[in-house]
A and B are shown apart, each in its own frame.
Chain A
């Protein structure tokens, strides 16, 4: 079973718009990570947020974590065509599980 569940499954936006993806999980965690996967490639780590943090920024990425709701969101601001990829959350508690991902398409 998957620990992290991303929502939406697919998202299509225009270049320059913001993209928001959500992740829900079921059990307590130590931290939560977000990864990106370009088509035909392996996953690449984007950002890690610890369970005692509420928000974290890295460049155009903003991640929030609400442990009371067991949810996290990834915001990509001013999206670019190169951001087209699948995005996965991975939770890290007693076990580490990846969700099924959100497929983001950014149209030029």
Chain B
């Protein structure tokens, strides 16, 4: 496997289900991201992890719960979602270059999970 992979590619769930999205990066990066892409809206950054610590959380509802057990894996746990949460969820990774200013290199994206909430 190369690059950034995501599973599953498609997911249909009811509002009472609990499911998880998985992302794995094979690029040796130390930062990972979750984005949401809804129809006709710009990509929205949800969470950022750097060195396995959550460094940004952009006012995302608590029904989305991220987990980063190591620098290669990122999960997004889903529970009691709403139909408006239906979207393409994209994972990305980059190399944080550190320093006094946190400079980060280019983000590379996975193919996404197409989520439909019924």
Are these two chains actual partners, yes or no? no
Q: Which residues of A contact B (CB under 8 A)?
A: none
Q: Which residues of B contact A (CB under 8 A)?
A: none
